[in-house]
Amino acid sequence: MEDNKESEEINEEKHHVKPKEKHLSCSQIESEFPLKRNFTCSQCGKTFPYKESLTRHMSIHTGEKPFTCAQCGKSFTEKAQLIDHLKIHTGEKPHRCDHCGKSYPSRGSLKKHMIIHEEKQHTCVYCGKSFIRIGTLNDHIKIHTGEKPYT
């Protein structure tokens, strides 16, 4: 009889399973679950939920870069930046593009590369040539307008 009771409980649970909940955007999450921001920057007033976040932020104001590459002397504000930088010296490129197979040393450089696989959405009104990046289009338009910003 106990097996039957467990079976009824399982069936009961099946009828009360909630449908898949939708994902919330960052702004929705912040409004519904506000973070306590107890740590305020004395320089700019920005607030942070953790003391470590404020400490890391302060390097923007102080210019402190405590993480230095032993090979070339370049300094960084965060350890993760140094770790990514070291891959330049080792040649390590663990971040691979799924579209073309090209590899990159950091997630950021892969993300920048991924733009080339997007549709060219910025079109020149003068000649119809299209570009992926708006900045490249703006530079191109100067050919038509005769603008020479570097002279």
Q: Count the neighbouring beta carbons within 10 Å of the beta carbon of residue 102.
A: 12
- Please list, in sequence order, all residues whose beta carbon lies within 8 angstroms of the beta carbon of residue 60, skipping any fewer than 6 positions away: 77
Is the pTM for the entire model greater than 0.85?
A: no
Q: Is the model's pLDDT at 143 over the cut of 60?
A: yes
What's the whole-number mean pLDDT along residues 7-20?
A: 41
Percent of the chain with pLDDT over 70: 74
Which pLDDT score, from 0 to 100, does residue 24 have? 61
Q: Which domains does the chain have, with CATH numbers?
A: 67-117 (3.30.160.60), 119-151 (3.30.160)
**Residue tagged 């959405």 (tokens):** 121
CA dist., res. 92 & res. 19, Å (int): 44
Per-residue pLDDT reduced to its tens digit, 50-96? 898 898 889 889 999 999 999 999 999 889 899 989 998 999 999 99
Q: Please answer whether residues 81 and 98 qualify as being in contact, where contact means their C-beta atoms are separated by less than 8 angstroms.
A: no
